[in-house]
Amino acid sequence: MTKPVRALFKHGATAFDIWEAAQKTYTVTQNSSRLFQLQRQSILTCQNDEYVKVFYEKLHAIWQEIDCLRPHEYSCADDRACRLKELEADRVYDFLRRLDPPYDGVRSRILALSPVLPPFEAYAMVMEEDTRQSAMLG
């Protein structure tokens, strides 16, 4: 939970009470306008000279909200596992596609890997490259 959201629920008596309150606050059964807005925001979000960390956090927050607004129903655990792998791969591609040109090298290395890395691992590789570039430039 982010700090502003956590502040809304800090007086819950138990973890269950906090979870219930958060679920009731943020669960929306149908919010097509917000989903449209988030999809659009996701498409328009690019690094644009921001720190990689800030850029990834923005993109990840959008993905999390989309997941909350559009929960998926699966008939079995295998369906869920397959869909999650596809979704993670799509998110890695989204993240890599929106990085600035100085990250072309690490982008190519990540895309050459099989299977596709989970988003957090791809982010970690990009952050390693970011640290390396910062050290080289002084």
Q: What is the mean pLDDT of the chain?
A: 88
pLDDT of residue 17: 76
DSSP-assigned letter for residue 10: T
**Mean pLDDT lowest for which of 20-29, 39-48, 97-106?**
20-29
Closest alpha carbon to 106 in 92, 87, 88: 92
Q: Is the pLDDT of residue 8 over 70?
A: no
Write out the H or E segment, with its range, that includes residue 64: helix 52-69
**9, 21 Cβ separation under 8 angstroms:** yes
**Mean pLDDT lowest for which of 54-63, 75-84, 89-98?**
75-84
pLDDT of residue 110: 98
pTM of the model: 0.73
